Amino acid sequence: MHLIAPIKLTGATKTMTSTTGWVVAFLCVVLLCASCQKNCYLLEPTISYCPPKHLVERLPSAFPTLSNNELNTEWGKELRIANLFAKELDLYRAITSYKRARFLLPRDQGDRRLQIDYCIILCYYLGGKYQECVETFETSDLLSVGPTFPALGELLIILYDAYERDCRLDRAEALLQLIEKHSCETARDLSLQQAVVDGDLCAAYYWAEQHPEADNITPYLDDYCCCAKSPRQAQALNAILPGAGYYYVEQKQTAVTSFLLNALFTWAAVYFFDHGNIPMGIILSSLEAGWYFGGINGAGLAAKEYNERLFECKGRDLLAEHRLFPFLMFETAF
């Protein structure tokens, strides 16, 4: 009886040693793969601005008011209706009416033709149709307008922003240089606005420091930096304890779910290894590895998403309060 117990104890010790070896090997592979996870996430915020109707209505027209003689013509009536639709931000009907007015317009009404082309471009711009905006410009007589065009400043701003959003950066850069010749302040404000929209924090700080209201602008960027989460830290926390990375980015329900799933699969894998069922232990370990590595990468993505939402909130407030959205730089409209 005294000889049997030590033999059983030795067998248990061997089993535990084998299980420990499998667990240690698994953890080594985990740590090695975790070091290869993506740890650099660039901001990709979505910041846009839709001007309210009262703001559009408040801006005066850059063009001469339609005379009584013009209002009595078919094209004059269509142009008046188009302007009313546009001020109501009923952009589809406005564009249709502008095009009808253009079809009816006599050839000798060159200035009114430029006005109609500009208003169509402005409608497309306000509607977020940036490709249509630049295509309309490139097929219109506005290509040859000079400094005497009444809405030249607004047209340049529209085209710069539209080319940027349409990813035609060479055209946008050329327009920015042209804007700078007319107004350095406008070019600086557009550069700051674009840096914020692109989520380029370094460029945003640079242009903010050039701004006369730098003391009021940089706090928005400072607040973001103070509150932003580190994707690397989120990944590291989730590598140490599954779910901790999600908890760090304030996704508590996801954190609990991640922890329970990883704990369940880890326990099941250890159980089968401990009972000698190596194939089942390997299968469960591979499943757990998927959950584990996916959780590490997911925590980093969750931190990136958290930062983007935070940056969007701070950036939108900054651009709106300091009138840095392109439309807020306009002095005229329809």
Let me know whether 160 and 260 are in one domain.
Answer: no
Q: Which domain holds residue 240?
A: 20-43+229-318
pLDDT attached to residue 16: 43
pLDDT attached to residue 314: 95
Residue 288 pLDDT class (50, 70, 90 cuts): confident
Residue-wise pLDDT for 239-277, tens only, equals 999 999 999 999 999 999 999 988 888 888 888 888 888
Classify residue 207: in a domain, yes or no. no
User: Could you give the residue ranges of the DSSP H alpha helices within 199-277?
Assistant: 201-210, 214-227, 231-240, 244-248, 252-274
**What percent of the chain clears pLDDT 90, i.e. is strictly above it?**
75
Let me know whether 276 and 174 are in one domain.
Answer: no
Give the pLDDT mean for 91-101.
97
pLDDT attached to residue 25: 53
Residue-wise pLDDT for 158-191, tens only, equals 999 999 999 999 999 999 999 999 899 999 999 9
Classify residue 13: in a domain, yes or no. no
Classify residue 218: in a domain, yes or no. no
Burial-class residue 251 by CB neighbours within 10 Å (0-12, 13-18, 19+).
buried
| C-alpha pair distances (Å), 317 with each of 156, 216, 221, 325 | 24, 12, 11, 10
Let me know whether 150 and 270 are in one domain.
Answer: no
Let me know whether 175 and 269 are in one domain.
Answer: no
Give the C-alpha separation, 53 to 17, whole Å.
Answer: 74
Name the token pair of 296: 């590490």
Let me know whether 61 and 189 are in one domain.
Answer: yes
pLDDT attached to residue 263: 87
Burial-class residue 198 by CB neighbours within 10 Å (0-12, 13-18, 19+).
middle
What is the domain count for the chain?
2
CATH number at residue 107: 1.25.40.10
Classify residue 73: in a domain, yes or no. yes
Classify residue 61: in a domain, yes or no. yes
Let me know whether 74 and 29 are in one domain.
Answer: no
Let me know whether 194 and 76 are in one domain.
Answer: yes
Give the C-alpha separation, 41 to 216, whole Å.
Answer: 28
Classify residue 203: in a domain, yes or no. no
Average pLDDT over the chain reads: 88
